[in-house]
Amino acid sequence: MIVNQTELLKPLYNYTILKDIALDESVTSLTNDSRKITPGCGFIAIQGEQFDGHRVLAEVIEAGARLIIVEKKPKNIESLNATIVHVPSTVKAQAILGNQFYQEPSKKMDVVAVTGTNGKTTITHMINFMLERIGHRTGLIGTVQYKIDQQILPAINTTPDSLSLQQMYHQMVEASCQDVLLEASSHALMLGRLWYTSVNCAIFTNLTREHLDFHKTMDGYAQAKSLLFSQLGQQFNVGRAPLAIINQDDGAGELMSAVTSADIVTYSLQDKGATAYAHSITSSSGRTDFVMEFQGESYEVMIPVRGSYNVSNFLASCLCLVYYYDYDVTKVIEMMQHFEGVSGRMQSIQEGQPYEVIVDFAHTTDALERVLSELVAHKSDNQRLITLMGHSGGNRDSEARPELGNILFKYSDLVILTADNPRYEDVTKICQEMIGSHNDKAYHIVVDRKEAIQFAVDQAQTNDILVFLGKGGEPYQVIENQYLPYDEASVVRQTIQDKLSKSEG
């Protein structure tokens, strides 16, 4: 795209042109990454945790940047051969300018945003699955991957920065996408990554302990999540109000409902007065059956994923299809029978081994409790539950570790503790903090995760249930400051195959 500099700056009110070299020129691209400079581009200098774009202004101008947006006035401005514009906040400016440069792309699609501690990925994938089955072209932005129609891109953050989002929305519009399914993390909401994203439907799943290193308190965490709903409902789209879908089983749902002017529907496994209410839930390997009460009718539903929490995820997805997309509820129920699940979410691994193997992303206390209680409720007396887990919060929220350990030891016959995303923290120290007062229980610490998986598979006996927790479909492992490519399901599959090959040999 090409946009005149004066036209690009038009949406801004509070800015000062420190140096006018090329205001009559056009901007050929817009970036906040000094490594992605192209001739004629605009560069937005962001001061991040690890890198400050203000330090490389001379370099980006030499590489071809013609418009520079700063929040710190450069001392060497006379030597900078580009238009220099000062704003109070470049983080806010990049959201405004990105939206302007790409011509308000999110307004050209239906945007469904999901927030909450757990369930975001499954719900976005459920909705995406159903929309694709009825012929929609969709975009998907979340923890597991980014998707532009059928093009799959690796996910770096659950929610990218606002400029990257606007660029991605533009690519989706160019690919004729009609819908965007977006995971809205609390970090993204607090840091303004969703500014100038036009959300039409917002879903709240639940709120449990996570990211308290960032939000400090649960109230602060809840306030961050509520930003999605307070920003929702300020304008009609094609004569319709935006829609908020709220989990009535979570107390924080009251806050989400209170701060939004959007129209509200609710779902519940406990409250018969909710818009959609599910009961009589039975779960077995690979499926869950239940009854849904909706609009005065009872519907028998089967979803091919296990767990009552996935019933909640289905209810949220169903309400989105029925209310926002005006789709028939019976067709939604029929379509979901063919849902293949999400990589790393209660993902069953079957390579011919005589024991059950599951890979799951559960890394918070609530998610861990849900997964393990579900498995224990349906295991027989002759089955052992073997769990493998680390703590994803290396150098973060260490206070969560004892409770994670309590849940592991509460349900497991054998616990294997290992690395997750240790960053700069000692893995053995993390594991010891998870063990807490459970030194009398059966456990092993194996620092290297791949070696721990090998150890876990070696312990498995016929009929056991072996669960690998915490990584799920996350495509990397964070060690120190490096994001190393990693695929838990592939590692587990290969380890099982190798063991089976040796036993056959």
Numbered residues of the known binding site: 34, 116-122, 157-159, 185, 193, 396, 420-423, 470, 474
* 3-state secondary structure at position 205: coil
Residue with tokens 């840091």: 191
- Distance (Å, whole) CA 402 – CA 438: 10
Residue with tokens 């070299």: 21
What is the end-to-end Cα distance of the chain in Å, rounded? 60
* 3-state secondary structure at position 325: coil
Any residues with CB less than 8 A from the CB of 114 and at least 6 apart, and which? 120, 123, 124, 181, 182, 183, 184, 202, 203, 205, 316
- Distance (Å, whole) CA 105 – CA 196: 10
What does the chain come to in residues? 505
| 290 bridge partner residues | 301
Residue with tokens 């989105």: 320
Q: Which residues are annotated as a binding site for ATP?
A: 116-122
Q: Can you say whether residue 2 is alpha, beta or left, with left for phi > 0 and alpha for psi between -120 and 50 degrees?
A: beta
Q: Which residues are annotated as a binding site for meso-2,6-diaminopimelate?
A: 396, 420-423, 470, 474
Give a three-class secondary structure readout of 431-479: HHHHHCCCCCCCEEECCCHHHHHHHHHHHCCCCCEEEEECCCCCCEEEE
Residue 279's H or E segment, with its range, is strand 276-284
